[in-house]
Structure 1
């Protein structure tokens, strides 16, 4: 379990848990709002399959208290950067601060991994909600792209995510 002692706006404790025999069905059923379907899969099941079949991504259940409310995954690129990917918060749970707490929790955990110097993620340029969230957490668009998605990054120094404007040690 990965936890930062963060809560959503309803006061529920948000943690990340490994996807296991007890929670995988609830994770697979996580679905976005209808207007988000151009940006994310209809169900988190696609992300679970990517994690289990490709060996690059690692799926995590996003839980508010003891209820699965979303999915997020992480991976490490050949260049050593760590990626946050496949975040999907169940439609009725959106707008409550769960996604922000999940990203902050995963950012802090990844920043402590050996050799972590940068956190990266990607999002569709028309997904303005995701762009605002990631920008507010210090991710800045890079010159890279991933298919039709914007790649954003945030450097990490001394095991802490830091803003791009912070001086290096």
Structure 2
């Protein structure tokens, strides 16, 4: 379990768990709002398959208290950077600060790895909600792209990112 003691706006503690035999079905059923389906898969199940079949990504269940409310994954690139990806917060849980708490938690956990010097992620340029969230956490768009997505990066110094200095929801 990965936790920073962060809470969503309802006061629920948000933690990340490895996807396992007990929670994988709940993670697979996580679905975004209908208008977000052009940015993320209809269900988080696609991300789970990427993690399990390709061996590059590591899927995490996003939980508010003991309830699975989302999915996020991470991976390490050949250049040594760590990537955050595949975040889907269930449509019924959006707007409650769960996504921000989940990203901040994963950022800090990855930043504490001895070899971590940079965090990266990508998002569709039309996804204004994702862009605002990531910029507010210190990520800055780079000149790189991943397919049709913007790549944003955040430097990590001394095992800490800017995430803990960002305001909580």
- TM bracket (short chain): over 0.9
Aligned Cα root-mean-square deviation (Å): 0.8
Rounded Cα–Cα distance in structure 2 between residues aligned with 1:120 and 1:94: 23
Matched, 1:100 2:66: no
User: Which residue in 2 is equivalent to 1:149?
Assistant: 149
Shift in Å at residue 119 of structure 1?
Answer: 0.2
Rounded Cα–Cα distance in structure 2 between residues aligned with 1:115 and 1:80: 7
**Count of residue pairs brought into register by the alignment:** 163
User: Which residue in 2 is equivalent to 1:8?
Assistant: 8
Structure 2: stretches of 5+ with no match in the other structure: 164-169
User: Which residue in 1 is equivalent to 2:80?
Assistant: 80
Rounded Cα–Cα distance in structure 2 between residues aligned with 1:105 and 1:21: 23
User: Which residue in 1 is equivalent to 2:115?
Assistant: 115
Q: TM-score, normalised by structure 1?
A: 0.95
Does the aligned pair in 1 maintain the 2:155–2:161 contact within 8 Å? yes
Which structure 2 residues correspond to residues 9-28 of structure 1 after superposition, within 5 A?
9-28=9-28
Does the aligned pair in 1 maintain the 2:80–2:115 contact within 8 Å? yes
Structure 1: stretches of 5+ with no match in the other structure: 164-169
- What's the secondary structure of 1:43's corresponding residue? coil
Does the aligned pair in 1 maintain the 2:122–2:149 contact within 8 Å? yes
1:72-100 deviation digits (Å, cap 9, x = unpaired)? 00000000000000000000100000000
Richer in strand (by share): 1
Q: TM-score, normalised by structure 2?
A: 0.95
- What's the secondary structure of 2:144's corresponding residue? strand
Rounded Cα–Cα distance in structure 2 between residues aligned with 1:79 and 1:114: 15
Shift in Å at residue 120 of structure 1?
Answer: 0.2
